Structure 1
Amino acid sequence: MRLLVLCAALALAGCASVTPPEVLKSDVARLAAPATGVTGDARATLQDLLARQPLDADTAVRIALLNNPGLEASLATLAIADADRVAAAQLPNPHFAFSRLREGQLLEIERMLSFNVLQLVTLPWRAQYANESLQLARLRAAQDVIRTAADTRKAWVQAVAARQTVNYLRDAHEAAEAGAELARRMARVGNFSKLQQAREQALLADVAAQQARAEQAAVAAREKLTRLLGLWGADASYTLPDRLPDLPQALPERSDIEATALRERLDVRAARDESAYVAGTLGFTRATGFVDALTVGAVHDTIFDNASGARENKNGFEIEVPVPLFDWGQARTARARASYAQSVARVRDVAVRARSEAREAWHGWRTAHDLARHYSDGVVPLRRFIADEMQLRYNGMLASVWDLLAETRNHIAAVNAAIEAQRDFWIADTDLQTALTGTSPGAIASPAAAGAGAESAPQGH
């Protein structure tokens, strides 16, 4: 039995080697692939991806996964865990001790080569736990990859939507400028009161402020995306599409969202694996409760008698074990039991959260789609029809220019609200994908009431 344990330890020590970083990254990419939603040639370089202008969402995600500094730091942590795995699987170094003692004419020289037998015997278990720890590190790194991909996709959606909003607010600003200029001219010739002119001027000032805020929001959204992409200098001058992707015509029906989350989410899998890992270490702690070291050494002792010139050699061995006088390992065992109980509770907590987040993300996804469809198929066409009818009435001298300008502003406000609803859907779509097949999406963005955008947009009077 002892020979088998020793052979297993020697085999582990001989096979342990540091995994190349490219292999570690490939393993993490394979784990995260179902949730990132990225397809294409994995060998594409940063410059190849930047050449695809304007950047679509998938290309932006691929750039972030290739170039994001924070993600690189996370993958470096994985390399550290792999180095710890190799260190745990290596044989412990022997210790050499030398002592030189003199008493009168006697000189004693002692040499001892010792070896930690307990570390050798427990080497297979320690190597196994280190390998399991590396697997947990892989799962955590894959979750970081998924979060980076989701954050990048949502940042891309927000940047494109902010750009659309700016474009439409510029149209609103032009309409408000036209109304203010007309009011000024009519007030000059006495056909408009000072109160009416002041109202048009106030509307123009409000639209100008909204446009300035929207332009700043667009800059902030683009810079957030740039940070996630890890770009700077000339590479940061990428272009984005003019509008968000079209909404899907219909959404699939699914009744297994909770089961999918429990089966495929990496945080659930990591919690289960961590609990099994802690359970194994609990058994190891109990087995080495109060004897946590065992050292065996070979001793060669030589005594020189300088008076007679005689020399005496003595050979033997030395065994060193700790005396459990004060520490019987109760604290270590209690800590291990508490860690196991904590890991079991964490599994339950992650499972409950995964179920809830899947339901919340699914409901938010459906609601966001319904709202976006409501604006794109109902509100915006209705506002366009009203604006066209008002144009016909104005051409027939049945409506005033103020009625025409008011309806133009109302149409622009409806379009802005539709953009916000469309943005919310694509963000909810990313949250749902993350909640079902990746990890916790964090604070799930609830579908914003797009009507709020219409209220804050310039209105007619």
Structure 2
Amino acid sequence: MRNTDMRAFYRMTPLMLALLLAGCASNSADGGRQSVSALVETRTGAALPPSAGGQDEAVAQLLAQPLTADAAVRIALLNNRGLQASLAELGISEAELVQAGRLRNPGLSFGRSHGSEGNEIDRSVSFDLAGLLTMPLRVQIEEGRFEQAKLQAASTTVQLAHAVRRAYFTAVAAVQTEMFMQQAMVSAEAGAQLAARLQQAGNWSRLDQARQQVFYADAVSELARARHQATAAREHLARLLGLWGSQAELKLPARLPDLPDAPQPAGELEQQAMQQRLDVQISKLNTEATARALGLSRATRLVNVLEVGYTNKSTSTAPRENGYSVSLELPLFDWGTARNARAQAVYEQALARTADTAITARSQVRVAYSGYRTAYDLARHYRDEVVPLRKTISHEVLLRYNGMLASVFELLADAREQVASVNGAIEAQRDFWIAQTDLQAAVEGGAVTENKE
């Protein structure tokens, strides 16, 4: 290699080294899944599997035992196909980050011409210098977007976990209601048969017998409705868990969990939401990324395309010529003002949306806590007041009946009144556990959107 070629090579070495380093960016081993799993675990108590698929054995082990709310969440994180599709967005975002750390492929040109003075050969290699200069800022922007993608994936996962808990408590309450309505129907059937015999014997009026008969007919209707609601609630839960076939036959407990001894205090729930809510964090990162994008727009306002290259020219009758070339887009018609104005407007929009997200989050926490305390107070009222009073009344009526101080009519009437009280208690207890789930969602991961089916 001649001295002129060596000097040109040495001058190009720093640029070639930078280009080589720019092409070293690669995808991570887990695609950000571990970071998402850590965010989810602190909010739900369950972690994401290290990879998608291959979780059948773990799911089967969880289904072998009576299902709990925590086990249902773990199954959903292992098995929900919709969640797996959402987590695939992480790979897309990381690929864009890796792509931002790589330059466009260099351009190579070669020309050969023949004239009276001999053959002439032109060679050149060009590189995207503007892309290299703005690469750190572009990588920083994509890193912010990747962090947003992680938070969005975590938010989706946490919302699924809360939806599973809601579906779980709804399904258990539906099963408990079905079992009670089965008992109520048996009692109503016995009362209807007794009323019919008494009416035939002339000891009861046709009106009283019809009232008892309609109670039995209503009990049959309510049992059919309760069975359907239990089936629908089970299927909804099974869908969220990603189960089908024989696995959808879930082993649910016969009753809801007991109420806690005391309700959760309000404390600093709004401040916790500002620190923990994923939608608030996503909005903040979006504003920061928009600000960095505004900086990039200003940096490339005048210089949008800048390429530098090495050229080599040789002819058959003269020594080889070496040099360089620069390609620059002249801002004659587009000075980048519109692009810069657009970036500024997008940034102001992001600021406004961040403030709106924070205001909405605080309001949702206040509403969720009000619903939580109301549900707790109602459930405790049923537990401590309504149900004990109803039991006392039933016991006294039975004692009076056994002592021949009350008629069978009063005994049957009391059975009818028990149905509404017990169903109200079950519903109040279910509403409390759902309200607690909604409060956790409002503080940690954003409000749950429940699909009504």
TM-score normalised over the length of structure 2? 0.88
Distance in 2, Cα, partners of 1:258 & 1:11: 46
Closer, same or farther: CA 39–95 of 1 in aligned 2, 3 Å: closer
Residue 387 of structure 1 and its aligned partner are, at CA, apart by 0.7
Are residue 227 (structure 1) and residue 227 (structure 2) matched? no
Gap runs ≥5 in structure 1: 305-309, 446-461
Q: Secondary structure at the match of 1:45?
A: helix
Percent identity of equivalent pairs:
46
Residue 67 of structure 1 and its aligned partner are, at CA, apart by 1.0
Alignment match, 1:143 = 155
Out of 320, 328, 334, the residue aligned to residue 321 of structure 1 is 328
Distance in 2, Cα, partners of 1:166 & 1:209: 12
Closer, same or farther: CA 41–80 of 1 in aligned 2, 3 Å: closer
Residue 312 of structure 1 and its aligned partner are, at CA, apart by 7.9
Amino acid of the structure 2 residue aligned with 1:297: G
Out of 217, 241, 257, the residue aligned to residue 269 of structure 2 is 257
Distance in 2, Cα, partners of 1:10 & 1:337: 34
For 1:379-458, list aligned pairs within 5 A.
Answer: 379-442=386-449
Are residue 277 (structure 1) and residue 284 (structure 2) matched? no
Distance in 1, Cα, partners of 2:286 & 2:196: 72
Amino acid of the structure 2 residue aligned with 1:349: D
Alignment match, 1:48 = 61
Distance in 2, Cα, partners of 1:324 & 1:202: 87
Distance in 2, Cα, partners of 1:312 & 1:64: 73
Distance in 2, Cα, partners of 1:207 & 1:177: 9
Are residue 170 (structure 1) and residue 182 (structure 2) matched? yes
Q: Secondary structure at the match of 1:122?
A: helix
Amino acid of the structure 2 residue aligned with 1:34: T
Closer, same or farther: CA 419–205 of 1 in aligned 2, 3 Å: same
Residue 259 of structure 1 and its aligned partner are, at CA, apart by 1.0
Out of 15, 23, 26, the residue aligned to residue 34 of structure 2 is 26
- Compare 40-49 and 243-252 and name the one that shifted more: 40-49
CA RMSD of aligned residues (A): 2.9
Residue 316 of structure 1 and its aligned partner are, at CA, apart by 4.0
What are the Cα deviations for residues 137-175 of structure 1, in whole angstroms up to 9, with x where unaligned? Answer: 111111111101101111110000000011111122112
Amino acid of the structure 1 residue aligned with 2:63: L
What are the Cα deviations for residues 107-164 of structure 1, in whole angstroms up to 9, with x where unaligned? Answer: 6554331111001111111111111111111111111111011011111100000000
What are the Cα deviations for residues 42-85 of structure 1, in whole angstroms up to 9, with x where unaligned? Answer: 9992233223x101110111111111111111111011111111
- Compare 421-430 and 248-257 and name the one that shifted more: 248-257
Closer, same or farther: CA 27–74 of 1 in aligned 2, 3 Å: same
Residue 288 of structure 1 and its aligned partner are, at CA, apart by 0.5
For 1:15-94, list aligned pairs within 5 A.
Answer: 16-21=25-30, 24-38=32-46, 45-51=58-64, 53-94=65-106
Residue 187 of structure 1 and its aligned partner are, at CA, apart by 3.0
Closer, same or farther: CA 237–72 of 1 in aligned 2, 3 Å: same
Alignment match, 1:337 = 344
Residue 296 of structure 1 and its aligned partner are, at CA, apart by 1.7
Closer, same or farther: CA 380–3 of 1 in aligned 2, 3 Å: farther
Out of 368, 379, 389, the residue aligned to residue 372 of structure 1 is 379
Gap runs ≥5 in structure 2: 1-11
- Compare 197-206 and 211-220 and name the one that shifted more: 197-206
Residue 274 of structure 1 and its aligned partner are, at CA, apart by 1.4
TM-score normalised over the length of structure 1? 0.87
Contact 1:357 1:440 in 2 (8 A): yes
Distance in 2, Cα, partners of 1:65 & 1:41: 7
Distance in 1, Cα, partners of 2:58 & 2:332: 63
Residue 209 of structure 1 and its aligned partner are, at CA, apart by 1.5
Amino acid of the structure 2 residue aligned with 1:173: M
Contact 1:267 1:440 in 2 (8 A): no
What are the Cα deviations for residues 202-250 of structure 1, in whole angstroms up to 9, with x where unaligned? Answer: 2222221221111111111111110111112232223011111110111
Contact 1:32 1:438 in 2 (8 A): no
- Compare 104-113 and 120-129 and name the one that shifted more: 104-113
